[in-house]
Structure 1
Amino acid sequence: MIKSKSILYICPENPFPPAGGDKIRIVNLLRLLSEHFEIDLLAYEPVARDEERQELNIPNNCRLHTVPSMDYKSWSLRLRSLILRRNNSLLSHADLHLSHRLKQLSERRQYDYVVVTHSFLGYLLPLLRALQPNSLLVTDAHNFETSLSRQFALTQTSMLRKTYFLLASHWNRKLEKEICKRTDLLLTTSEPDAEAFQSLSPSDKHKIKVIPNFVDMRSYESDRAENVTPRSPNIIFPGTMSYFPNVNGALYFGRKIYPILKAVIPDLTWHIVGRGIHPEVQALAESDSSIVVTGFVPDMGTYMRNASVVIAPLLEGGGTRLKILEAWAYGIPVVSTEKGAEGIVCENDRDICLADEPQAFADAILKLIRDRTFAAQIVSNARNQLLNLYERESVKERLLSLFMEERKEKTS
């Protein structure tokens, strides 16, 4: 057995390249932790789109192991989930390939830490405890899935689909309560999510800690907006368009807010940037040539440095929005709904503009485009907030201290 400081890191999908908020969080954490630990990363490997095949840039101290993935949206899996009363997303990751690979890795090494990402993989905790009896088991929850699946259910127009996803919310609640019991340390991205887990299992409150999403400012400096020449008015909505809060947010903005703006600024453009193209979102672009849906892009900076405003018009969701933190890092002012900015420490008209009504949302965008002094002040304040709370170095000390303290307590 190898006896250096080590982590077994388990993901529901290979996070390289980091396209999408959940992958960005995983990769940021991996890069930070790989400076201090040897890491074996075990992940499901989907069939990647050709345009997403690029240099992976996996950290030197991180070894990638993959197993084939399953299609969690298949109706056969959904039927199976009804019979077994378990979330179909969970079942898509519950297969013998992963269990077999875990046993192989455990025969080679006993790890100091095992990190499980997403509640979907929480079913692995009993097996991991048996295979790694002395490891600190860490669950990085990303979202409070009980709430997220309920929010998704309430957006459904079909009674059958609504009933199914309400059942999924109930199953997620049982799983997430069990995770609280079985894990040694549970990480959330925001205080609201931490409070939700704590209310679910009050006796495990001491295990639940916040490690927010964060960015490494060194990766953004060359693309910051102040380094770019002035541009024509352009709105950016970054996000994966297979994630329902982003889809609903894009449709809400496109139908309720963008027409108000176009009536005032005819040459305004709107780019929806991120992997996955939802048919209803694509229809927005087909009806208006000033709307561009890009799909996956290898370099988000190409679009962000030409943005006047970044928007987060979200009506559902949880955690903290990396799209807002990245906009702050790029030096772009943000307009968001209250829900879109949930979990981020911010103040309206200081480091962000918040608006829940269509006209107010449009007015905030117009003010930022027209009043560049106001926009510059928002950007400056946002940068300070980012450096204080959400930059890599500000999170690094908290995370490493937490890992060391919990490990020491477990072995004492």
Structure 2
Amino acid sequence: MAEILFIAHRIPFPPDRGDKIRSHHILRRLAALAPVHVACFADNPADLAHEPALAAMAASHCLVARSRPLPLAGLAALGQGRPVSLTAFADARLRAYVAHIVATRPIAAIYVFSGQMGQYVPPAFAGRVVIDLVDVDSLKFGAYAAAATGPRRWLYAREERLLRAEEARLVARADRTLLVSPEEQALLGPRLPAGLAGKVGAIGNGIDTTLYDPDRVTPAAALAEQPGPALIFTGQMDYPPNVAAVVRGARRIMPAIRAVHPEATFEIVGRQPAAAVRALDGINGCRVRGAVDDIRPWLRGADLALVPLEIARGIQNKVLEAMAMALPVVASTGAATGIPVRPGEELAVADSDAAMIAATLALLADRAAARAMGLAARRCVVATHGWDAVLAPLAATLGLAGGEGLPDAA
């Protein structure tokens, strides 16, 4: 039986952040199709603790602790003329494992999760290669460059330029390149050399709508006891776009909300809050909760999800999770991209501070409308973003023959 090699920049366990949620469900689906060998990194000891779960799903695996500090990776990248993103994920042990698996196992397809891992595809591999970029990383660094000054602006612009070239190389190398939404696909197409855009497709993000069900969850006690409305933002809180979003919410949006609702709070829930996030605790009703064991009770106990992201790539899992929990959401256009909503019905879309404030106050003033929006949001997510439906095209993308296994390598 033909086998699959799955290469990812981060161990797909536990599925508790955006990239891990996607990679976890893709790996589960691949393992149901054929034996899968997994090469990936661990960011920290907590990641390493999940190695037994990885071993239980994979036919074999190589999990490497990524220990190179980013400044050292940056210096190496400058010396090599490569993107920092690639240098930070370069490792001889992982490369040796990939070479060994390809040489000794009947690998018919390689699935690469995240563009920085495309460097591990052996040049001579003749089987099918699928590269899941998820989103257009080069554009993200272009946005960083536009917002930065001084040396950071130069570094971000360099990363944007080199990653754009790497993305074009990967599309040319792969049989199929995937992005998380048709919108991301449309952004990448014009950035590629002529003739390559037709090799790009989209497979979206999904959500476990049985797990994320408000009827199965009790509100977090800290929110159930609160006298005023609770607005919530969830996510990895050392990720720069998330940091910028909550700073914006705390300093530019919450003062206007508290002028009408003095006891309103802005609940910032997510692991590893950066210093700029921790500094918000106690300001304008902000409460920095940090990591929690289960995000669902916090979503269940909140009155509204406020997602004022100014830089957003791909489909935002935080928005899908809030919608699945029947929570009304006020989100920027970028944060809502890739989710088939009717603005004003399943989700409120607003971009300027004034529009965010107006949409939030309107929903807080009309609880019946807020509840109706939340219920419509859940119906939308259940209908369009269950993982079974989202990943249905995966077998064909991998070139499955008759649903019985991968074909022989071409």
TM norm structure 2: 0.90
* Greater than 3 Å deviation, 4+ residue runs: 52-61, 222-232, 404-412
> Is the deviation greater in 220-229 or in 301-310?
220-229
Match of residue 298 from structure 1: 293
Counterpart of 1:105 in structure 2 is: 101
Q: Which residue of structure 2 aligns with residue 285 of structure 1?
A: 281
Give 1:5 deviation, angstroms: 4.1
Per the alignment, residue 190 of structure 1 pairs with 181
Alignment map for 1:10-409 (pairs within 5 Å): 10-49=7-46, 57-58=53-54, 60-63=56-59, 64-71=61-68, 73-74=70-71, 76-125=72-121, 127=122, 129-130=123-124, 132-133=125-126, 135-157=127-149, 159-201=150-192, 202-221=194-213, 231=224, 232=226, 233-287=229-283, 290-404=285-399
Alpha-carbon offset, residue 160 of structure 1? 0.8
Aligned partners of 1:19 and 1:274 also within 8 Å: no
Measured after TM superposition, the shift of residue 243 of structure 1 is 1.5
Please say if residues 331 and 349 of structure 2, whose CA atoms lie closer than 8 Å, have aligned partners that are also in contact.
Answer: yes
- 1:347 maps to a residue whose letter is R
- What is the letter of the counterpart of residue 179 of structure 1? L
Distance 1:222 1:355, change over 3 A: closer
What residue number does 2:6 align with? Answer: 9
Structure 1 residue 399, shift from structure 2 partner = 2.3
Q: Deviations over 1:345-386 (max 9, x none)?
A: 222111100111223212222222332221222123222321
CA distance in 1, matches of 2:283, 2:269: 18
CA distance in 2, matches of 1:242, 1:90: 20
For 2:9 and 2:152, locate their aligned partners in 1 and report how far apart those are by CA, in whole Å: 24
TM-score by length of 1: 0.89
2:108/2:409 contact within 8 Å kept: no
CA contact 1:387–1:394 (8 Å) conserved in 2: no
8 Å Cα contact 2:136-2:313 kept in structure 1 = yes
C-alpha separation between the residues in 1 aligned to 2:311 and 2:6?
A: 29
Q: Which runs of 5+ in 2 are unaligned?
A: none
Query: What is the percentage of aligned positions where both structures have the same residue?
Result: 26
Question: Does the 8 Å CA contact 2:2/2:408 hold for their aligned counterparts?
Answer: no
TM superposition shift of 1:180: 0.9
More divergent stretch after superposition (139-148 vs 228-237): 228-237
Q: Deviations over 1:303-337 (max 9, x none)?
A: 11111111211001211111111111111111101
CA separation of 1:55/1:361 partners in 2, compared to 1, >3 Å: closer, same or farther? farther
CA positional deviation for 1:246: 0.8
CA distance in 2, matches of 1:78, 1:96: 18
Over aligned residue pairs, what C-alpha RMSD do you find?
Answer: 2.6
Structure 2 CA distance for aligned equivalents of residues 337 and 247 of structure 1: 15
Conserved? CA contact 1:19–1:275, under 8 Å: no
Q: Secondary structure at the match of 2:134?
A: coil
Query: Structure 1's 5 and 224: CA in aligned 2 closer, same or farther, altered over 3 A?
Result: farther
2:219/2:298 contact within 8 Å kept = no
Classify 1:364/1:85 alpha carbon distance in 2 versus 1 (closer, same or farther; 3 Å): same
Determine the C-alpha separation between the residues in 1 that align with 2:400 and 2:258: 54
More displaced 10-residue stretch of structure 1: 170-179 or 374-383: 374-383
Give the Å deviation of 1:200. Answer: 2.4
- Please tell me whether the aligned partners of residues 152 and 244 of structure 1 are also in contact (alpha carbons under 8 angstroms): no
- SS where residue 244 of structure 2 aligns? helix
Paired positions, count: 401
Q: Is the 8 A contact 1:149 1:166 kept in 2?
A: yes
